[in-house]
Copies of this chain bind each other. A is one copy, B any other.
Amino acid sequence: MADFRPKARRPRGFVDRRGRDLAAERAIVDAVLKVYEAWGFERLETSAFEYADALGKFLPDQDRPNEGVFALQDDDEQWMALRYDLTAPLARFVAENFDALPKPYRRCAAGPVWRNEKPGPGRFREFWQCDADTVGSASPAADAEMIAMACAALEAAGVKQGAYAIKINTRRVLNEILEVAGVVDPKQKLGVLRALDKFDRLGFAGVQLLLGPGRKDDSGDFTKGAGLSDAAIEQIMSYLVRGSAQGRDSFLDMIGEVANVDDLRGISAVLKSLGIGDRQASFDLSIIRGLEYYTGAVFEAQLVGGDGASFGSVGGGGRYDDLVSRFKGQPIPATGFSVGVSRLAAALAAQRDAAAADPLVVVLPFDGAAIAQCFGYAAQLRGAGHRAEVYLGGSGPKAQLKYADKRDAVVAVIVGGDELAGRSVTLKNLRAGAELAARAADREAYEKGREDVQITVPEGEMIAHVRRMTAPV
């Protein structure tokens, strides 16, 4: 082994995350879980592995599990796979513990999931999900609760009211509208739904082509259309336009003339009693999501601008009545919501105030004999509520100050020979120092400003000066 020196590299498609970005993601997960728990959702943590057949990825006529998951054979030859989401393990857990669970069963969970996909830019093989699910209630109230809780979760994560919108749709109503427009063939219906699903990306004109003869994209590739008549397209599109540009009540009145909207009415009533207005949650017939997966209401959380224009999805969910039933052989209704942690973190990062991060104080033993003293100062600083650390390397003053910069510290507490002898500390305001260097017009202003940047004080006054230097600017 002595001769074998491995190359340090992380596996393809995986990332290391650290510092502020990681802290931002974890803060979102913590805030969202706290909301889920306040709403009575019990935390559950299943292990990373499930039996491949329980995940639903096992094809009985093949030796190896399906693609898309990381799978291996246990020593008793059973195939296990890493979970690809948090819902499949929930279904297994509920089926396994059905009799002992309170019903309906509300659970929340957060953790990494793994997808064995070809790595690509921005496509990761491990990422976090943060879910809430209610198993065992077919009531529209359960869906409404998900939607209202999604609003509360987004707000707890730092998204302001007015900056997000939950869009609600249901497969059944869409089906009835298609039938009114004369689309009854299941295959043609699926084609129409696939076309509508591209609304975000292609807009009206593109979807219209896909509903009719078909569409050629910029690269010249042709996608066959659903082949609807102009009249049918016109009718569907008009519902789509009108169905997404009004309050919930008007929507229900309009669509209620051509389809059964009882469950949507039920959802809207509960939303109202939970104080969720039209700007927070509205119906939108263009929301499709997981055609093979969802069986009823679907919802999508979007970040929106002041004009209501969508900046993209940061979460979603819906009703999936088949997942637990697969194990039990009896119908078990379920509904859930999942926050897109990484997407939401990225969206919030743009708004985040760097100054809001917990400022760090670094204590520098310019004189090596000062190390124990420095640890005492660091303990005092932590006692006063600061993040504080001592430089532990063996290098000199210049390298120590460079270290403080690399650590993004706001204040350096310097303890050299003079300070040690005089029981004093030299405080360097690193934030002000950087600003001064960038700003000071002439030498005189610079020299004057330097007094604000660096100061030597008795050790008893350290905390007061550090508090001043770390105060929000």
In the assembled complex, A70 has its CB within 8 A of some CB on chain B:
yes
A16 x B47 contact (CB < 8 A): yes
Chain B residues with Cβ below 8 Å from A12 are 74, 76
In the assembled complex, A448 has its CB within 8 A of some CB on chain B:
no
The interface-forming segment of A52-60, A232-240, A308-316 is A52-60
Closest B residue to A141 using CB positions: B371
CB distance from A124 to the nearest CB of B (A): 9
A45 x B71 contact (CB < 8 A): no
In the assembled complex, A299 has its CB within 8 A of some CB on chain B:
no
Could you say which interface size class chain A belongs to?
35 or more
CA distance A125 to B294 in the complex (A): 34
Chain B residues with Cβ below 8 Å from A136 are 392-393
Chain B residues with Cβ below 8 Å from A141 are 371-372, 375, 390, 392
Chain A at the B interface: SS class: mixed
In the assembled complex, A420 has its CB within 8 A of some CB on chain B:
no
CB distance from A139 to the nearest CB of B (A): 6
Could you list 15 examples of A-B contacts with CB < 8 Å?
A: A5-B327, A11-B78, A11-B80, A16-B46, A23-B43, A38-B382, A48-B114, A75-B118, A106-B389, A134-B392, A136-B393, A141-B390, A270-B375, A273-B376, A274-B376
- Interface residues of chain A, those whose CB is within 8 Å of chain B, are 4-12, 14-19, 22-23, 26, 30, 37-51, 53-54, 56, 58, 60, 70-72, 74-76, 78, 80, 82, 91-93, 95-97, 101-104, 106-107, 112, 114, 118, 125-126, 134, 136-139, 141-142, 144-145, 148, 269-270, 272-275, 326-327, 329, 358, 360, 362, 371-373, 375-376, 378-379, 382, 386-394, 403, 406-407
